[in-house]
Amino acid sequence: MIKRILLPIFILSQFLILHSQSKPDIFGSINARQIGPAVMSGRITSITGVNTDPLTVYVGAAAGGAWKTTNGGTTFKPLFDEHTQSIGTITIDQKHPDTIWVGTGEINVRNSVSVGDGIYRSTDGGKNWQHLGLENSERIAKIIIHPENPDIVLAAVMGNLWNSSEDRGVYKTTDSGKSWEKILYVDENTGCSDISISPQDPDLLIAGMWEFRRTPYSFKSGGKGSGLYISKDGGSDWEQIDIDKDAGELGRISVSFSEVDPAIAYALVESKNTSLYRSLDEGKTWEKRTSSSLVSERPFYFSALFPDPVDTNKIYKPGLSLYVSNDGGKIFNTPFIEGGRVHSDHHALWINPKNNSHLYLGTDGGLYISYDKGSTWNFCNNLPLSQFYHVAVDNQKPFNVYGGLQDNGSWFGPSKSPGGITNSDWESIGFGDGFNVIPDRTDDHFIYWQWQGGNTIRYNRQTKEAKEITPSSDDPEIKLSFNWNTPVIQSPAIPGVLYIGSQFLYRSTDRGDSWTKISPDLTTNDPQKLKQETSGGLTTDYSTEKNHGTIFTISE
């Protein structure tokens, strides 16, 4: 009898699913609404300002689109909501500041990055955009506009992260993007990580080419394709420069001419001994300035240089923090003297050329502004750029929304609030990279939250007690392997029952106080894919994001 009932119910359910899928207006007039938050913001990938009007600044986000302020950060307007939200670079035509070019696709190639769909241009300050090709570029690292002829534009295409592609290299247009020519290409595994143009001679170009590849279980930065190239004729011909005969194989390369003295150029070069180099003769010869830990930390992720537009001896190098050298790159330190608390992981910087005390800094936690060369900072808590890994809701009235954010912890906030939802309505309950945040189904006091690599915490909202409940191995010979984005669910039927996955499936009946392993190893357990601790290529980089041989999703 049960079987006879279940079959027609199953058929009916499939009919209803197919029927609903055929109606694009299934949700009728329901509209999405913005509930924030902006209190913690999110990863900034590019910042550029108008040289003649430093209150007008454009900001590109890893997964939050492009934004514009005309009042120095007091308010921002989104410009790119109708296009891909992953921004690689933004460039302004300084002689025609209403013309803005955007290259899409994040260039900080961690495991969780979004892709782009080419290059865009606006000629009215960001109100309208035209897609101008390079749709297979996936990620564009830099756009350069010829200072004397705005129809000539160069694009540094980094290319695909997870596979080979012939769409990599340096591209050039002479007709404002109507057509593109690939003018520098190494191979299908090597993209252009950076390019710089001499402010004195626009035919003089320096480009860094980078071989890289990510798989679900490894990352390789560096290879025979990486190298430093120079062109003296606007990109028609290129010469590979042996920047350091003792450097060996190279990885990611960042390059930049000084805006003050065009004879000065800098290059940050990843190798087994990652170093900063300086040239005093327009790139003909190079001197190693330093190999300190401040310039060599995570070179695949922190690879940007910003020479000061006023002081020829000052250069900024973003990393875990913001570092500055006052002697042409020999010694770096942090500029923070007081009030320098900013979110870690820095990627973007714009220095006001009219006042080099005025800085805009982009980090994994949002945008900061300094008026004293980085001694103190103001945080722009009006850019809602949070990157949610997961979202959940509870059964309260009004219901609360929960989520884990890339590098910004775990949070929850109300679905509505008197006078409207504000940043102050959101409450932080976790740290690190936040993933699943799950309100207990039957006890409103409990919330489960995670940080990367399976670390799971049970939080009591009433007592403020936080207890780690991550399972541990019952065999000292077996190390548990948790995914970067570890699945944890609660039973929809039985209160207090949780499941979590490493390579084994675990079950708890007491809200995580104890766990029982209820499965064998459910993965391939392939030893060739379990070498995360040695992965990274030239620079070993392990932070659980390449954990393989793990359970990825669970359903009861």
Residue 3 has pLDDT above 60, yes or no: no
Give me the pLDDT at residue 19, please: 47
Looking at 371-525, which runs of residues are DSSP E strands?
A: 378-379, 388-393, 400-405, 410-414, 427-428, 434-439, 446-451, 455-460, 466-468, 488-490, 498-501, 505-508, 516-517
What whole-number distance in Å separates Cα of residue 420 and Cα of residue 65? 24
Contacts of 6 (CB under 8 A, 6+ apart): none
Residue 17 has pLDDT above 50, yes or no: no
Q: What is the pLDDT of residues 496-545, one digit of tens each?
A: 999 999 999 999 999 999 999 999 999 999 999 999 889 999 999 888 88
Per-domain residue ranges of the chain:
80-336, 388-537
Give me the pLDDT at residue 32, please: 84
CATH classification code of 80-336: 2.130.10.10
Give me the pLDDT at residue 24, please: 61
Q: What is the pLDDT of residues 52-108, one digit of tens each?
A: 999 999 999 999 999 999 999 999 999 999 999 999 999 999 999 999 999 999 999
Kindly report the backbone phi and psi dihedral angles of residue 533, in degrees, each rounded to the nearest multiple of 5, phi listed first: -65, -20
Give me the pLDDT at residue 377, please: 94
Which 8-state DSSP code applies to residue 161? S
Residue 13 has pLDDT above 50, yes or no: no
Question: Is 398:410 a contact under the CB 8 Å cutoff?
Answer: no
Asked if domains 80-336 and 388-537 share a fold, the reply is yes
Q: What is the pLDDT of residues 293-308, one digit of tens each?
A: 999 999 999 999 999 9
| Mean pLDDT, rounded, of the chain | 93
Cis peptide before 307 (omega within 30 of 0): no
Give me the pLDDT at residue 341, please: 81
Give me the pLDDT at residue 347, please: 97
Helix (H), strand (E) at residue 11 = helix 2-21
Q: How confident is the model at residue 23 (pLDDT cuts 50, 70, 90)?
A: low
Residue 259 has pLDDT above 80, yes or no: yes
What whole-number distance in Å separates Cα of residue 261 and Cα of residue 401? 52
- Taking the CA atoms of the chain, what radius of gyration do you get in angstroms? 25
Mean pLDDT of 377-400: 94
**Residues forming beta bridges with residue 248, ordered by sequence position:** none
Mean pLDDT of 349-369: 97
Kindly report the backbone phi and psi dihedral angles of residue 522, in degrees, each rounded to the nearest multiple of 5, phi listed first: -95, 5
CATH classification code of 388-537: 2.130.10.10
Instruction: Supply the pTM of this predicted model.
Output: 0.92
DSSP string, 19-88: HHHT-TTTTTT---------SS---EEEEEEETTEEEEEEEEESSS-EEEESSTTSS-EE--TTS-S-EE
Contacts of 171 (CB under 8 A, 6+ apart): 134, 154, 155, 157, 180, 181, 182, 183
